[in-house]
């Protein structure tokens, strides 16, 4: 495993992180809860220390499942959780959700996440989304109070644009910025990644596998059930799907020469982006966790290499957990 530090003085984390959204049990098709929790434990055994969740994933179920899977080792992990989506349950068993990054929401959401995760302090706490109404400075002021109070270690943003990242960092130092980034989602290269590199903020890249499209498992006739968000994503339709499948085929061809899967090369490519500290990849089974972790240490084959100036230097590994 490789490790990198988040921000100037943030925690040292594994460069392959475990995405915990499937632990919430919604939006990704059938999930065997026991297999998903076993995947968490296998990732730990392989040196993965970064586990990314959010209060909105399964409306709290992801945080609870992560805590149960980590068990007594939950204090060894660098848990990243997020707030910024509020919800209320409807009578039909569903919930109405809306974005809320207000100072009041910081306090309420944090206390609930601490209880679900069964910890006294969340190592890294991110604002999940801007809400379009709350000035980012107000949110950062509220988060700063939680850091000073010892309930949060470091703070960051998720899904924010470069100008808001700069404003937030000026108000209170950010350790991390989470964004979608990969071969099929390169918009962050224009402004966000350069801004994070300039500010010394670590980027957590999600979506490097394009919701599974770059794993090589799917073809043009792939179909998803109503319980799987991919049935409605533009990426899995029409011309976008064709482009994605072509990219997956190119990764498969390149990977065959070096003994790597398309998914591993897609993760490795994103890892070598400017300012990228870690990639976040979900896993439903121990085998998937093993495959994701193997992206660490890979060298990109000819045709996929990144320019040397874009490859971040690796931090020394921490003591074994």
- CATH code, 87: 3.20.20.100
In-domain check, residue 70: yes
pLDDT band at 301 (very low <50, low <70, confident <90, very high): confident
In-domain check, residue 75: yes
In-domain check, residue 302: yes
Q: 156-177, pLDDT tens digit by residue? A: 999 999 999 999 999 999 999 9
Spatial neighbors of 246 by CB under 8 A, at least 6 apart, are: none
Strand positions, DSSP E, 33-180: 50-52, 78-83, 85-89, 95-99, 122-127, 152-158, 176-180
- Give the total number of structural domains in the chain: 1
Q: Which residues are catalytic?
A: 57
In-domain check, residue 315: no
Q: Is the pLDDT of residue 28 over 60?
A: no
In-domain check, residue 321: no
In-domain check, residue 316: no
Q: 98-136, pLDDT tens digit by residue? A: 899 999 999 999 999 999 999 999 999 999 999 999 999
In-domain check, residue 318: no
The label of the residue with tokens 């000026």 reads 170
Strand positions, DSSP E, the chain: 3-5, 12-14, 16-19, 50-52, 78-83, 85-89, 95-99, 122-127, 152-158, 176-180, 202-206, 276-282
In-domain check, residue 22: yes
Range of the structural domain that residue 102 is part of: 3-310
């Amino acid at each position: 495993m490789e490790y990198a530090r988040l921000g100037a003085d943030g925690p040292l984390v594994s460069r392959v992180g475990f995405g915990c959204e499937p632990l919430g049990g919604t939006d990704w098709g059938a999930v065997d809860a026991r297999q998903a929790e076993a995947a968490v434990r296998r990732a730990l055994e392989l040196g993965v220390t970064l586990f990314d969740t959010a209060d909105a994933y399964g409306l709290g179920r992801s945080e609870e499942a992560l805590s149960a899977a980590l068990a007594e080792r939950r204090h060894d992990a660098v848990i990243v959780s997020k707030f910024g989506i509020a919800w209320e349950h409807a009578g039909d068993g569903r919930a109405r959700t809306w974005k809320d990054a207000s100072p009041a929401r910081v306090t309420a959401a944090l206390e609930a996440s601490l209880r679900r995760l069964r910890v006294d302090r969340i190592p890294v706490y991110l604002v999940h989304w801007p809400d379009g109404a709350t000035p980012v400075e107000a949110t950062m002021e509220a988060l700063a109070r939680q850091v000073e109070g010892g309930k949060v270690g470091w703070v960051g943003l998720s899904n924010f644009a470069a100008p808001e990242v700069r404003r937030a960092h000026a108000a209170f130092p950010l350790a991390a910025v989470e964004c979608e980034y990969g071969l099929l989602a390169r918009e962050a290269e224009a402004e966000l990644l350069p801004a994070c590199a300039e500010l010394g903020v670590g980027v957590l890249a999600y979506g490097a596998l394009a919701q599974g499209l770059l794993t090589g498992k799917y073809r043009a006739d792939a179909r998803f059930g109503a319980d799987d968000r991919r049935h409605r994503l533009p990426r899995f339709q029409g011309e976008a799907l064709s482009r994605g499948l072509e990219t997956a085929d190119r990764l498969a061809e390149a990977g065959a020469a070096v003994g790597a899967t398309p998914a591993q090369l897609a993760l490795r490519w994103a890892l070598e982006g400017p300012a990228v500290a870690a990639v976040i990849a979900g896993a439903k089974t121990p085998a998937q966790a093993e495959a994701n972790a193997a992206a660490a240490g890979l060298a990109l084959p000819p045709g996929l290499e990144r320019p040397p100036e874009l490859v971040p230097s690796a931090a020394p590994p921490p003591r074994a957990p």
